[in-house]
């Protein structure tokens, strides 16, 4: 593991994490990104803005989220102790809302009355629709028609919250295509529209801004873990699709020595089947959605359709900061299959009375693999990034149950 | 002097505008692309913009997205696009060909390898939609050294600082995106174009072509009064989509001739 001899300070002023990140967009968007960059800079250096952000996180989201010692599950696995950061207990049921509140406040500062968002599992769409209602903004959510089919309950939630959900029929009809379509909307309506990107990807300053808003997760853990266990964890484990919950819990730990950071990607039906969404484990660097990062692509540079049981991980790219953490060896990235994630899902339900999101179940599954091989005094901190109510339909279908 | 520069010099000397049609390589069928390119030249095209299909064309509207999808379904790739240019070049040594597309296929081939292969195939210019100047200084320098003009976009939202950025590393011509939106969109703001073009031309010292939203002879003529070149893409692709296969080339030719005639009715230099 690389031990930093100076504090970690990325991205650089032009939005690069080593060779990754940057601003790879058409000219029309450049002035909008410059404007956003200036606005975000003003906001994060403004104590009143940060105080309002923290107030909202406390009173509207319900932060800080607790850390829970999954004692029965740990005992059964017979090794390291597993602690869960309970982002599933946030208002709207996942970590996504942290970022949405931050960006909605920036949108309000910029005077933009209309917000747009892309969504995969629907969690970011729901969080965006929620904050739009909360701040009195118009909200349009782009969602692949395949994901709309998989996540019907979340689609209805967004509609209840007053958002317009636009089905995207292009490409693989999933998250990446929703992102393409949201970008097209943004470029057309740039004068009055703020694009809330839901993950640590996209052109600068998005990867940095989303990370900063999500870093509240890791910052709370830095305080909570010593209170609960007397020390920081040995491992911090999080699932990685675009990578926002992972970046949020990893970032405050980057300069903490002795803490291993593990990102868990979706290995789908197995890495060797080609049907997965593990861009860091199996991809190569390229340019997509405004940044340079690891991508799942063919030899001609065309983006490959991905597969995961979890819609939120079904994305062929990954945030550029994860690409940098991989190359610099500060974090390690592994894959967990659909089957392994499903087993962890059921185990957590039965043993701890917690229904986790299928995305988070990937991180849980890796913890379950790791724990038995470690001594009982080792500590694994897993980011339980969302609750699994939205996945009832998918899990029931896999178990041959019809409602 | 590059082939692109000499085209503009020749047209400017006779007070004419450049007509730049765009087609997606491999759409509707790779076998049709080279005959279509020759047909475009016969109908009055001065430069051809050849789209390199990409799986995720973020800056394009539905028409060019569909074209990209059809071409990819027929197995089109950046390498095969270069083969098509080479075939075209064997019969036409004069008409510049500009490749237009996205960064990732170039990154996958390797920018240096791409430039060498493109130069060898007879490519004259390259416009990479998601390579803004700040991210491609090295690539633009390598392209220029190989005799390929790096062409950049400017938009209604661009500041004067952006004019200077593209003037510094671009060459050939500037592609002015005439509206805020994706390719093939509806509303074209003639007043904005008329106001902005003289500023841009004075500042960048290059000819300026205008595209996105030009759909007929009338809009081409009005843009041609202020621009050095008129770019037409989505409307040609629609013509291909809506024509029976055996009539597609003839219909595109008739459409383009009509535009050429309109442009040639303009008198004098761009205002």
d(CA A319, CA A306) in angstroms, rounded, equals: 16
d(CA B114, CA B128) in angstroms, rounded, equals: 12
Tokens matching residue A318: 């990954």
d(CA A344, CA B43) in angstroms, rounded, equals: 65
Specify whether A118 is catalytic: yes
HEC string for chain B: CCHHHHHHHHHHHCCCCEEEEEEECCCCCHHHHHHHHHHHHHCCCCCEEEECCCCCCCCCCHHHHHHHHHHHHCCCCHHHHHHHHHHHHHHCCCCCEEEEECHHHHHHHCHHHHHHHHHHHCCCEEEECCCCHHHCHHHHHHHHHCCCEECEEECCCCCHHHHHHHHHHCCCCEEEECCCCCCCCCCCCHHHHHHHHHHHHHHHCCCEEEECCCCCHHHHHHHHCCCCEEEECHHHHHHHHHCCHHHHHHHHHHHHHHHHHHHHCCCCCCC
Q: What order do you get walking across the sheet with A20-24 strand by strand? A: A16-17, A20-24, A290-295, A284-288
pLDDT in tens, chain B (271 residues): 899 999 999 999 999 999 999 999 999 999 999 999 999 999 999 999 999 999 999 989 889 999 999 999 999 999 999 999 999 999 999 999 999 999 999 999 999 999 999 999 999 999 999 999 999 999 999 999 999 999 999 998 899 999 999 999 999 999 998 777 777 666 678 888 999 999 999 999 999 999 988 899 999 999 999 999 999 999 999 999 999 989 999 999 999 999 999 999 998 888 7
Pairing outcome for strands B174-177 and B149-150: unpaired
Q: CA of B112, closest CA in chain A: separation in Å? A: 15
Tell me, what's the pLDDT at A58? 98
B/e letters for B239-271, b = 16+ CB within 10 Å, e = fewer, are: bbeebeeeebbeebbebbeebbebbeebeeebe
Q: How many other C-beta atoms lie within 10 A of the C-beta of residue A279?
A: 32
Q: How many alpha carbons lie under 13 Å from residue A291 in its C-beta half-sphere?
A: 34
Instruction: Kindly report the pTM of this predicted structure.
Output: 0.96
Mutate which of B60, B132, B163 to test chain A, going by most A C-beta atoms within 10 A?
B132
pLDDT, tens digit (0-9, with 9 covering 90-100), for B98-130 = 999 999 999 999 999 999 999 999 999 999 999
Tell me, what's the pLDDT at A2? 44
Reported ipTM exceeds the 0.85 cut:
yes
Q: Which residues of chain A have pLDDT under 70?
A: 1-5
Handedness of CA A266, A270, A271, A276 (dihedral sign): negative
Q: Tell me, yes or no, if A14 comes closer than 8 A to chain B by beta carbon.
A: yes
Tell me, what's the pLDDT at B213? 84
Q: Which residues of A touch B78 (CB under 8 A)?
A: 300-301
d(CA A103, CA A56) in angstroms, rounded, equals: 12
List the Cα angle B239/B243/B245 in 5-degree steps.
120
Contact B162 A27 (CB under 8 A): yes
What's the first-to-final CA gap in chain B, in angstroms? 26
**Of A22, A190, A300, Cβ closest to residue B108:** A300
pLDDT, tens digit (0-9, with 9 covering 90-100), for A310-356 = 988 989 999 999 999 999 999 999 999 999 999 999 999 999 999 99
Are residues B146 and A21 in contact, defined by beta-carbon separation less than 8 angstroms? no
Residue B211: C-alpha distances to residues A106, B153, B154, B176, B182 (Å): 33, 10, 11, 6, 11
d(CA B122, CA B88) in angstroms, rounded, equals: 9
Q: CA of A140, closest CA in chain B: separation in Å? A: 17
Contact B108 A26 (CB under 8 A): no
CATH of domain B3-264: 3.20.20.70
Mutate which of B108, B109, B127, B152 to test chain A, going by most A C-beta atoms within 10 A?
B108
Residue A216: C-alpha distances to residues A70, A210, B2, B31, B205 (Å): 22, 11, 55, 56, 50
Contact B102 A303 (CB under 8 A): no
Tell me, what's the pLDDT at A5? 58
Report the DSSP beta bridge partners of residue B211: B177
What's the first-to-final CA gap in chain A, in angstroms? 48
3-class secondary-structure state, position A192:
coil
Contact A288 B157 (CB under 8 A): no
**Of B108, B157, B159, Cβ closest to residue A301:** B108
Q: Tell me, yes or no, if A197 comes closer than 8 A to chain B by beta carbon.
A: no
Of A333, A328, A330, which Cα lies nearest the Cα of A20?
Answer: A328
Length of chain B: 271
Q: CA of A48, closest CA in chain B: separation in Å? A: 31
């Amino acid at each position: 593991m690389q031990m930093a001899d100076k504090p970690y300070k990325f991205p650089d002023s032009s939005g690069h994490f080593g060779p990754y990140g940057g601003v790879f967009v058409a000219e029309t968007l450049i002035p909008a990104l410059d404007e956003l960059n200036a606005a975000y800079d003003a906001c994060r250096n403004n104590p009143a803005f940060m105080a309002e952000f923290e107030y909202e996180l406390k009173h509207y989201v319900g932060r800080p989220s607790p850390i829970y010692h999954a004692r029965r599950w740990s005992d059964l696995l017979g090794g390291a102790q597993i602690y869960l950061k309970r982002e599933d207990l946030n208002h709207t049921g996942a970590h996504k809302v942290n970022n949405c509140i931050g960006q909605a406040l920036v949108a309000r500062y910029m005077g933009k009355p209309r917000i747009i968002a892309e969504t995969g599992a629907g969690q970011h769409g729901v969080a965006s629709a929620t904050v739009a209602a909360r701040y009195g903004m118009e909200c349009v959510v782009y969602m692949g028609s395949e994901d709309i089919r998989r996540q019907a309950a979340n689609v209805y939630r967004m509609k209840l919250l007053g958002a317009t959900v636009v089905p995207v029929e292009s490409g693989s009809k999933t998250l990446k295509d929703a992102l393409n379509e949201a970008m097209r909307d943004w470029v057309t309506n740039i004068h009055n529209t703020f694009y809330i990107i839901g993950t640590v990807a996209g052109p600068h300053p998005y990867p940095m801004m989303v990370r900063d808003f999500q870093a509240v997760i890791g910052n709370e853990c830095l305080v909570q873990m010593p209170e609960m266990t007397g020390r920081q964890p040995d491992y911090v484990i999080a699932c990685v699709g675009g990578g926002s919950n992972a970046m949020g819990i990893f970032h405050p730990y980057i300069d903490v020595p002795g803490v291993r950071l593990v990102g868990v990607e979706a290995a789908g039906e197995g890495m060797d089947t080609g049907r997965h969404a593990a861009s860091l484990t199996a991809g190569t660097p390229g340019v997509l959605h405004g940044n340079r990062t690891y991508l799942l692509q063919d030899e001609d540079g065309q983006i490959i359709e991905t597969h995961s049981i979890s819609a939120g991980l079904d994305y062929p790219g990954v945030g550029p900061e994860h690409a940098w953490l991989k190359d610099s060896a500060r974090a390690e990235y592994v894959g967990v299959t659909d089957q392994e994630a499903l087993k962890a899902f059921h185990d957590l339900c039965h043993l701890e009375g917690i229904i986790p999101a299928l995305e988070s179940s990937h991180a849980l599954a890796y913890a379950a693999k790791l724990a038995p091989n470690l001594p009982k005094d080792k500590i694994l901190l897993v980011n339980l990034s969302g609750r699994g109510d939205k996945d009832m339909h998918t899990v029931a279908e896999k178990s041959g149950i019809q409602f | 002097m590059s082939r692109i520069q000499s085209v503009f010099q020749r047209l400017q000397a006779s007070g004419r505008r450049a007509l730049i049609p765009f087609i997606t390589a491999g759409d509707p069928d790779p076998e049709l692309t080279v005959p279509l390119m020759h047909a475009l030249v016969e109908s009055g095209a001065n430069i051809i913009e050849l789209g390199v299909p990409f799986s995720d064309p973020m800056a394009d509207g539905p028409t060019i997205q569909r074209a990209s999808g059809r071409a990819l379904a027929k197995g089109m790739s950046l390498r095969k696009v270069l083969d098509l240019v080479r075939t075209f070049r064997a019969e036409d040594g004069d008409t510049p060909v500009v490749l237009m597309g996205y960064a990732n296929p170039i990154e996958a081939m390797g920018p240096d390898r791409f430039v060498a292969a493109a130069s060898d195939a007879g490519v004259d210019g390259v416009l990479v939609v998601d390579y803004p100047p700040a991210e491609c200084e090295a690539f633009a320098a390598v392209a220029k050294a190989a005799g390929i003009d790096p062409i950049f976009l400017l938009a209604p939202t661009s500041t004067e600082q952006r004019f200077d950025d593209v003037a510094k590393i671009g060459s050939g011509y500037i592609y002015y995106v005439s509206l805020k939106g994706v390719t093939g969109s509806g509303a074209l703001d003639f007043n904005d174009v008329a106001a902005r073009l003289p500023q841009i031309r004075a500042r960048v010292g290059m000819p300026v072509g205008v595209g996105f939203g030009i759909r007929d002879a009338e809009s081409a003529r009005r843009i041609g009064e202020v621009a050095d070149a008129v770019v037409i893409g989505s409307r040609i692709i629609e013509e291909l989509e809506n024509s029976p296969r055996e009539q597609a080339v003839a219909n595109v030719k008739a459409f383009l001739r009509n535009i050429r005639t309109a442009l040639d009715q303009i008198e004098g230099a761009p205002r």
